[in-house]
Structure 1
Amino acid sequence: MSSIKHLKQYIRQLSDEADNSRLPSFWFTDWLLAVIDKPSLFLITDEEYQLTESELAQFYAGIEKLQAGIPLAYLTGQQAFWSLSFTVNEHTLIPRPDTEVLVEQVLQWIQSQPINDEHPTPKRLLDLGTGSGCIAISLAHELKHHLRYAHWHTVALDVSPEALEVAKYNALINEVGEIDFIQSSWYESLPTDMMFDVIVSNPPYIDEEDAHLAHLRAEPMSALSAPNHGLADIEHITQLAPKYLRAGGLLALEHGFDQGEAVRQILSSHGFGAIQTVQDYGGNDRVTLGHLA
């Protein structure tokens, strides 16, 4: 380890290692920056920086974990999402860019709704299976910073108490206090008279037999896969949604790239109309929305 003296030499070696690794190349430099606790510009402005023995030891220990399948976000404990930063750990999924499409679509729908500025009607949004809280917090953050939507209140549910602790912390560090966090298996612990204008969820949707799950083994499997070819939780959420969704309200669901047609059929069979599927940034079906008739 001591043969590598300066940052510029180290970056050169990392580049070579990335070429020979299945890991994303930026993981190496991002992990290095996390170890030395410096911004990315430091790689350019301070190439002569000399890593200490303890920094080298920490870096190599992390690389071993990355190569063993531990995602970078679990090493750094942080993941950017929307315009915010979220703490993550082994109890939560790592927020993905594709989920930003779900946030985007819900915000567009809310902004399209008429508002009585003099006497705005209180509105309520439900995030099912909140995990790190990235969806609920991003939505609440956006609504909070637009005075016309300050009358919206967010409720976030998750069955995992450990995940809820992470979500509560993320709400705190992102200065979003307008969220009620409730431990619940889907709707189970909700009062039956609590109604919502929007229900949003990124539920488990990967087929339990999908070979790709092997590459995601570090993340909580209960938040990734579901029975019935990945559709069981989507079916459950949609079936019960009319009990908690106001007439004309929005149900917005993230799903797999090959599940668009099946999810549209599920929404249609449970009384939803104006159903549409939106593609993610890679051009794949990712989010399906419907309005309760």
Structure 2
Amino acid sequence: MTMPNIQKMTVKDIKQQAKTISEKSAIPTFWITDWLLYVINKPALFLMTDPDYLLSATEQERFAAGITQMHNGIPLAYLTGTQEFWSLGFKVNEHTLIPRPDTEVLVEQVLHWIASQPNDSTPNNTAPKRLLDLGTGSGCIAISLAHELKHASWQVTAADLSLEALKVAQSNAVSNEVDVKFVHSSWYQALPIHENELFDVIVSNPPYIDENDEHLQRLQAEPISALSAPNYGLADIEHIVQQAGIYLRAGGLLAIEHGFDQGLAVRQLFLNNNFNAVKTVPDYGGNERVTLGCLATIDS
């Protein structure tokens, strides 16, 4: 898919062609206009206020090249190197997944749970609460939670097996001005097991797509290892749930994002591994997406 040969291309020309380009190339219309704004380095209002703006030859060439890349499967976020999540800006690249809006449901649910917990104001209770994000990728979950909890007594740790992803996440933490401890680890592997280092919350958006899913064959950009897992996509979720009791304090929260058709299986995993108050929350499209549960206490 290439742009039509237009000698003089204006903002108005591109806006008028955006729908046609989108239909022919299966590119979301807003990707086209957002890419235009990125190329000409203008705010969104510019599309309405300056329709006669004439792209330079360099801008037109760059815009057309980007449309071709998107048609070939490269997401807009990888062209711009950024993606918004939780109203924060995140750098992304080929080593990280692009944050999805539905993952904000996971952040919302964790914050709701934290807000619902009674405050322990006893004089001897000065230790910060501890939160762990497993498979952090770009860091969007950990950083968003740290941003919301920065004025509370919470310590956020984020782990990932990919050193390249951790570099991106560390950069995102700095740019969003939050304090997150990053750990190079395959899930829990590099984390200490001590009573005084248990976590109050463990959260994860792990790979959950079936390795044999036909949609993976069309994947052009995002890392497959961050998307797919064995056992019909449940292998990593199983590991996280089964090992959570070692690292989570009694009464603590485990919250996991999963596939739209995995809710029943994930709830059963929680119940089989000593979790109670288990529930699944839908995403913005109404699909089962996030399952939460609290590690049972001894007397429960």
Query: What TM-score does the superposition give when structure 1 sets the normalisation length?
Result: 0.95
Deviation at 1:21, TM superposition (A): 2.5
Counterpart residue identity of residue 141, structure 1: H
Contact kept, 8 Å, 1:4 with 1:10, in 2: the verdict is no
Counterpart residue identity of residue 92, structure 1: T
User: What secondary structure, in the 3-state scheme, does the structure 1 residue paired with 2:233 have?
Assistant: coil
CA distance in 1, matches of 2:170, 2:62: 29
CA distance in 2, matches of 1:96, 1:10: 27
Equivalence map 1:23-38=2 (5 Å)? 23-38=27-42
CA distance in 1, matches of 2:93, 2:214: 23
Instruction: Tell me if 1:81 matches 2:85.
Output: yes
Deviations 1:221-255 (A, max 9, x none): 11000000000000000111000000000000000
Deviation at 1:121, TM superposition (A): 4.5
Determine the structure 1 residue equivalent to 2:174: 172
Contact kept, 8 Å, 1:123 with 1:153, in 2: the verdict is yes
Counterpart residue identity of residue 262, structure 2: Q
Equivalence map 1:137-156=2 (5 Å)? 137-144=143-150, 147=151, 150-156=152-158
Deviations 1:5-45 (A, max 9, x none): 32212221223212323111111111111101111110111
Determine the structure 2 residue equivalent to 1:236: 239
Deviation at 1:215, TM superposition (A): 3.6
Query: Which of 222, 225, 229 is the equivalent residue of 2:228?
Result: 225
Determine the structure 2 residue equivalent to 1:208: 211
Note the residue ranges of structure 1 that are not aligned, 5 or more in a row. none
Determine the structure 1 residue equivalent to 2:135: 129
Note the residue ranges of structure 2 that are not aligned, 5 or more in a row. none
CA distance in 2, matches of 1:279, 1:189: 32
Instruction: Tell me if 1:185 matches 2:186.
Output: yes
Determine the structure 1 residue equivalent to 2:164: 162
CA distance in 1, matches of 2:9, 2:21: 17
Equivalence map 1:251-290=2 (5 Å)? 251-290=254-293
CA distance in 2, matches of 1:197, 1:15: 48
Contact kept, 8 Å, 2:9 with 2:60, in 1: the verdict is no
Pair 1:25–1:2, CA change in 2 (3 A): closer
Counterpart residue identity of residue 203, structure 1: P
Determine the structure 2 residue equivalent to 1:105: 109
CA distance in 1, matches of 2:230, 2:23: 38
CA distance in 2, matches of 1:216, 1:124: 36
Determine the structure 1 residue equivalent to 2:198: 195
CA distance in 1, matches of 2:78, 2:203: 25
Contact kept, 8 Å, 1:2 with 1:53, in 2: the verdict is no
Instruction: Tell me if 1:17 matches 2:18.
Output: no
Deviation at 1:117, TM superposition (A): 4.8
Counterpart residue identity of residue 38, structure 1: K
Aligned length, in residue pairs? 288
Pair 1:182–1:47, CA change in 2 (3 A): same
- Among all aligned residue pairs of Structure 1 and Structure 2, give the percentage whose two residues are the same amino acid: 64
Contact kept, 8 Å, 1:79 with 1:86, in 2: the verdict is yes
CA distance in 1, matches of 2:237, 2:202: 12
Determine the structure 2 residue equivalent to 1:248: 251
Contact kept, 8 Å, 1:131 with 1:167, in 2: the verdict is yes
CA RMSD after TM alignment: 1.2
Deviations 1:30-78 (A, max 9, x none): 1111101111110111111110000011111111110110011000111
